Amino acid sequence: MAIIRNIFEDMRSRSQRAVAVEKEEKVAVGDGLRQSCWANMPQELLREVLVRIEASEDTWPPRKNVVACAGVCRNWRVITKEIVKKPEISAKITFPISVKQPGPRENLLQCFIKRNRSTQTYYLYLSLTGSLGDDGKFLLAARKCRRPTCTDYIISLDGYDMSRGSNSYVGKLRSNFLGTKFTVYDGQPPHAGAKIAKSHSTRLVNLKQVSPKVPTGNYPVAHISYELNVLGSRGPRRMHCVMDSIPSSSIEPGGVAPTQTEFSLNNIEMFPLFPFFRSKSSRVVENSLSGPLVGDKKEGMLVLKNKSPRWHEQLQCWCLNFHGRVTVASVKNFQLVASAENGAAGPEHEKIILQFGKVGKDLFTMDYRYPISAFQAFAICLSSFDTKIACE
């Protein structure tokens, strides 16, 4: 392993030097490294090296070495993509695009959200130890923007730049005036054939209009509604989520959900060290989509509902079993399961797809699984933070 680490350290320094050259002389990173000794390594040896690095660096922060490997050159990138499995299979988040891909099938992927009340920002972290107090690996950030008739939550890959025109923009959550209905928008098409929502303006990136070859904008991927509480009685909220981009068959054994594989070009410039994300616009559009939404209107979309809590006589409160992941009672706490609208009830309807709950004043856990992604789960949880005039 010492030899492998020496190779990696030298490779990383070469990658960083190549990026500096690109900025100064406008030379592509891939072209600069194509002539290096690492690019010409025998395929069998290269694969063995990358397999060992991927196996040994299986947790963050060491896993950043795997990401760096994908930024060396085309050969390294192709083999790294073959070795690193999607979260659905590996239950690991490796590349930034992983936050747009469905979670693991067999278990919940544990994350947590930190809230900053003064700046109205929210930060999503991957839990590294399972402990409620670990530092975590940063995944996504969101900023609340109040408008006269609605509220927007701008979701970004950058914890410091959460603007609508940023290259790190990945999507947003928008609520109605009452805070009872929400729509989740993806910044790029979630599947082939996805329709963009009508907008009065074209999104600008770094004050430049995005190329028409690259689909970018607002693609509705989920609709969330909270049941109106007209009587004013206290009790748990009732949620209803329609996942526009996920077929109901995805929760069945062997079911498939659309999976994004690459970011559009408007997101690429934020990853200068990793040519893993660089490619021609036409190829990005073609390869970043896993195919059309499985099924048709007859089959329908996946519908999620909150799991009904039970009333605890001794504690005199509504209770749900979060298996130790939630420690503070709150009206915001919820668990989502597949609704009976998806067909006859079965074992798959009992599995918790997303759970969210409070563990501190501004700390919340968020655990999710297939077929939803970290981005979709984060957006749904953000809806629970919003003020609901007619629901409480």
Q: Kindly report, residue by residue over 127-168, the tens digit of the pLDDT.
A: 988 777 678 899 999 999 988 888 999 999 999 988 878 889
CB 104 within 8 A of CB 111: no
Cα–Cα distance, 354 to 67 (Å, whole number): 27
When comparing pLDDT for 37 and 221, which is higher?
221
For CA atoms 380, 66, 86, 214, the dihedral sign is positive
Please give the pLDDT value at position 105.
92
Q: What is the mean pLDDT of residues 326-350?
A: 80
Cα–Cα distance, 39 to 36 (Å, whole number): 5
Cα–Cα distance, 154 to 142 (Å, whole number): 5
Tallying the residues shown for the chain, one arrives at: 392
Largest Cα–Cα separation, the chain: 72
Please give the pLDDT value at position 203.
45
Cα–Cα distance, 369 to 108 (Å, whole number): 5
Please give the pLDDT value at position 215.
41
For residue 40, give both structure tokens: 């010409």
Give pLDDT tens digits for 157-189.
999 988 878 889 999 999 988 888 999 999 888
Please give the pLDDT value at position 202.
41
For residue 115, give both structure tokens: 């809230």
Cα–Cα distance, 24 to 37 (Å, whole number): 23
CA distances from 309 to 321, 344, 345, 350 (A): 9, 22, 18, 14
Helix (H/G/I), strand (E/B), else coil: 140: strand
Q: Residue written as tokens 């939404």? A: 293
Give pLDDT tens digits for 189-247.
877 666 776 654 444 444 444 433 334 568 999 999 998 654 445 556 788 999 998 99
Work out the mean pLDDT of the chain and round it to a whole number: 77
Worst-scoring range by mean pLDDT, 112-121, 187-196, 236-245, 375-384?
A: 187-196
Please give the pLDDT value at position 23.
44
For residue 48, give both structure tokens: 């063995």
Cα–Cα distance, 312 to 37 (Å, whole number): 67
Band (pLDDT 50/70/90 cuts) for residue 26 is very low
Please give the pLDDT value at position 7.
59
Helix (H/G/I), strand (E/B), else coil: 106: coil
For CA atoms 137, 119, 355, 325, the dihedral sign is positive
Cα–Cα distance, 113 to 389 (Å, whole number): 23
- DSSP 8-state secondary structure symbol assigned to residue 218: -
Band (pLDDT 50/70/90 cuts) for residue 362 is very high
Band (pLDDT 50/70/90 cuts) for residue 265 is low
Please give the pLDDT value at position 173.
95
Q: What is the CA radius of gyration of the chain?
A: 22
Helix (H/G/I), strand (E/B), else coil: 185: strand
Top mean pLDDT of 16-30, 49-63, 97-111, 288-302 is at 97-111
Burial class (CB in 10 A: 0-12, 13-18, 19+), 208: exposed
Q: What is the mean pLDDT of residues 309-337?
A: 84
Cα–Cα distance, 336 to 357 (Å, whole number): 12
**Kind plus residue range of the DSSP H or E element containing 262:** none
Closest CA to 335 of 316, 363, 357, 318: 357
Kindly tell me if the per-residue pLDDT of 387 is higher than 90: no
